[in-house]
Amino acid sequence: MKSVDYQRMSDKEHEPSEKDIFSYLGNNATEAWVDIISFLRTNYDFSPEVDYGGKNYGWSIRYRKSGKSLCTLFPEGGAQQLTEHIRCA
């Protein structure tokens, strides 16, 4: 079984700010993160919600409107790729 070489933001007591997320991601992933957030702001009328999904998932940024989810972004430190799941409603 392949070991996991990334970490999610899992400190329940500290809701991360945008600056915290950028610091956690590092320079390369921050650029991709900003591009995705910019795309979502430009193309969708959804407001971001910061959500704590428990110790296995950690903090995330969720985009949803009227109870319908567009996507959820999980900042991961040390990740080698950026993966997002977008469900079209």
* Structure confidence at residue 14 (pLDDT): 94
% the chain with pLDDT above 90: 34
Burial of 25 (0-12, 13-18, 19+ CB in 10 A): buried
pLDDT per residue over 73-83, tens digit each? 888 886 655 55
Residues 61 and 69: their CA atoms lie apart, in Å, by: 11
**Domain edges within the chain:** 15-86
Render pLDDT for 6-23 as a digit per residue (tens, 0 to 9).
678 889 999 999 999 999
